[in-house]
């Protein structure tokens, strides 16, 4: 499994765009990039998944450069309720049993 590296913590203010970058230098050809969000005292929630270029849904955008050695989760106009831990995971999406969560990035949004 490709190892991922992401910042331990980030701070932001309401209304700003937040970009969380994840490095995965050893990503394999079949690997997909998946992001989860976890609020305190809750289970993680799937946010977005992508393979290359750009993926967008109602919650976030995921940008993946051509070499796929990194990816950026973009949260537009964050609010206080976006304060959470964000996990970047990389792996063959047909092997969900190998889902490995690191420590994630703790995003703190203040007013």
Chain residues binding other proteins by CB under 8 A are 32, 34, 41-46, 49, 87, 89, 91, 93-97, 99-104
Contact 51, 57 (CB under 8 A): no
**Which residues face 62 on adjacent strands?**
55, 73
Minimum CB distance to other proteins smaller for 13 or for 85: 85
Q: Shortest distance, CB of residue 42 to other proteins, whole angstroms? A: 6
Task: Report the relative pairing of strands 105-110 and 9-13 from DSSP bridges.
Answer: parallel
Q: Shortest distance, CB of residue 10 to other proteins, whole angstroms? A: 16
Minimum CB distance to other proteins smaller for 52 or for 93: 93
Q: Shortest distance, CB of residue 16 to other proteins, whole angstroms? A: 26
Q: Residue 20: how many CB atoms within 10 A of its CB? A: 20
Task: Report the relative pairing of strands 84-92 and 9-13 from DSSP bridges.
Answer: unpaired
Minimum CB distance to other proteins smaller for 48 or for 75: 48
């Amino acid at each position: 499994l490709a190892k991922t590296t992401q910042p331990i913590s980030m701070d932001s203010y309401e209304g700003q765009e937040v970009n969380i970058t994840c490095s995965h230098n050893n990503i394999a050809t079949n690997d997909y990039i998946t992001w989860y969000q976890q609020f305190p005292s809750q289970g993680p929630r799937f946010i977005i998944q992508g393979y290359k270029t750009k993926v967008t849904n109602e919650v976030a955008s995921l940008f993946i450069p051509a070499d796929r050695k990194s990816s950026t989760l973009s949260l537009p106009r964050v609010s206080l309720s976006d304060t959470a831990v964000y996990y970047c995971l990389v792996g063959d999406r047909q092997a969900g049993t190998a889902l490995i969560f690191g420590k994630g990035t703790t995003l703190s949004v203040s007013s």
